[in-house]
Amino acid sequence: MEALRAHLSLDRMDLLGHSAAGDLAVLYAAAHPERIAHLILLTPGLRAVGIEESEEQWRAALARRSGEPWYPGALAAIEKAEAGDDSVDNRRGYMPFFYGRWDDAARAHAEVGVSERSRPVRDGFAAAGAFHPPATREAAGRLDAPVLVYAGELDASPTPATAAAAAQLFPDATVTVQPGAAHFPWLDDPAFFTAAITSFLS
């Protein structure tokens, strides 16, 4: 990321990290705070700062979707994944949890993101020693750029409460929770999402 910034001759940049890339965005901001104009953590992974939902919190967030017709099958796929089933077909089974509405647009989007993945790469991303939360949290406390922590109301990771906890690590942070959205809020309500991001950057 720093090589790209230098290549583009940017003195400071707006940086957005979604999901697992939220961890990378936080790590970059911790290492190069002087290069950040705005930091947006969009339904982010937060392992870099040592914040994750407890099993109870995560299960409670999943249970909020229990009225959905797809819920029993998707929950069964979650259980299979926890038991070690990392197949593409099983990932398809639990994808509805990632969307505020499981409609045709969500199904099409989910298919784009479901593919065979490199297990060594994925395992290495969060391997032992990949993150150093105490040091990253300490560096986050010195970041003077505005930070937006953006959550979906229905997302199970991060939940809105987890996003709010992460925002407390930064001196100048705002939390936005998009109603009716899950892990891909721009798909759930593009107008709300665009307005929120534009307002923050303005």
Domain-terminating residue out of 81, 96, 122: 122
What's the angle, vertex CA 57, arms to CA 22 and CA 157, rounded to 5?
20
73: containing domain: 55-122
Q: Which of 109-113, 117-121, 133-137 has the lowest mean pLDDT?
A: 117-121
Examine the domain organization and report whether 151 and 181 are in the same domain: yes
| Domain C-terminal end among 122, 148, 179 | 122
Q: Please state whether beta strands 147-152 and 13-19 pair in parallel, antiparallel, or not at all (unpaired).
A: unpaired
pLDDT per residue as tens digits for the range 122-143: 778 878 888 999 999 999 999 9
Count of CB atoms within 10 A of residue 78's CB? Answer: 18
Q: Do 46 and 162 contact (CB within 8 A), yes or no?
A: yes
| Mean pLDDT estimate for the chain | 94
Tell me the β-bridge partners of 14: 38
pLDDT of 113 reads: 63
**191 in the same domain as 101:** no
DSSP bridge pairs for 40: 16, 148
- Strand pairing of 147-152 and 173-178? parallel
Is the four-CA dihedral 71, 76, 59, 88 of positive or negative sign? negative
pLDDT tens digits, one per residue of 63-101: 999 999 999 999 999 999 999 998 889 999 999 999 999
Q: Which residue has the tokens 């939360």?
A: 133
pTM for the whole thing? Answer: 0.94
- 190 burial via Cβ count (<10 Å: 0-12, 13-18, 19+): exposed
Of the residues 122, 142, 167, the one at which a domain ends: 122
Quick: pLDDT tens for 5-60. 999 999 999 999 999 999 999 999 999 999 999 999 999 999 999 999 999 999 99
Kindly state whether residue 127 falls inside one of the protein's structural domains. Answer: no
Q: Is residue 79 part of a domain?
A: yes
* Count of domains observed in the chain: 2
pLDDT at 121: 79
Query: Residue 108 falls within a domain, yes or no?
Result: yes
The continuous run of DSSP H or E covering 20 comes out as helix 20-31
Rounded distance between C-alpha atoms, residue 161 and residue 151, angstroms? 9
* 128 domain-assigned: no
| CATH code (residue 43) | 3.40.50.1820
